[in-house]
Chains A and B, each alone.
Chain A
Amino acid sequence: NAGVTQTPKFRILKIGQSMTLQCAQDMNHNYMYWYRQDPGMGLKLIYYSVGAGITDKGEVPNGYNVSRSTTEDFPLRLELAAPSQTSVYFCASRVYQGTEAFFGQGTRLTVV
């Protein structure tokens, strides 16, 4: 049981480039999330999904896009990368609200 798998683990982007952070879970969880963590800060919610085909914005969605075509996958797309998007990104999933969320190992992204 792999849980929540994120790829890549590390990435360096140049300003203006685009990339997709991959997230997959094998627990058949309905809810999936993308968070970012900046140094000394907590986890801020970027986007979330309550099921395939349903996504919604979190606290800090600007500069990002998501899609949820399957229950398992929830990719996060960065368009026109900016230095302010340098952060550690965590994907998480849970069965439904009122249960614990399981996190991936994170993707450390640097935009230069």
Chain B
Amino acid sequence: DQQVKQNSPSLSVQEGRISILNCDYTNSMFDYFLWYKKYPAEGPTFLISISSIKDKNEDGRFTVFLNKSAKHLSLHIVPSQPGDSAVYFCAANSGYALNFGKGTSLLVTP
């Protein structure tokens, strides 16, 4: 029973344009959300997070938006760069554990 869903397995964006990665969740008890980036043969690395009491958090080119009523969050990358090509995982905190989505593979083309 997937509580964190990333319904787009892949996304292709041109360099310089905006990348929008989406994530939906089912558990209203989630209190903290994170985005991770993963390159092949490496472990996931933390990108940005947002508390459930906020609706936006920004860090440089990365912005995460949270819509609690819709149980939806999104990651915006502006402008997208070829080095952003990776798999992005959405994660949600519930008690002690982090629940992960299946990931979205982002390809940024020159």
Residues of A at the B interface (CB closer than 8 Å) are 4, 31, 33, 35, 40-45, 48, 50, 56, 58, 90, 92, 97-98, 100-106
Contact = CB atoms under 8 A, between A and B. Distances in A.
A105 B32 CA distance: 24
Question: Could you tell me the dominant secondary structure of chain A's interface residues?
Answer: strand
Interface range on chain B (Cβ under 8 Å from partner): 20 to 34
Interface in B1-39: 2, 4, 6, 9, 31-32, 34, 36
Contact of B44 (A43, A58, A97, A98): A43
Contacts, number: 58
Contacts of A31: 96
A43 B4 CA distance: 11
B97 A33 contact: yes
Interface of B: 2, 4, 6, 9, 31-32, 34, 36, 41-46, 49, 51, 89, 93, 95-103
B45 A50 contact: no
Contacts of A44: 100
Given A97-B95, A100-B34, A106 B4 contact: no
A23 to B, nearest CB: 11
B34 A48 contact: no
B42 A105 contact: yes
Contacts of A48: 96-97
Contacts of B43: 4, 90, 92, 103-106
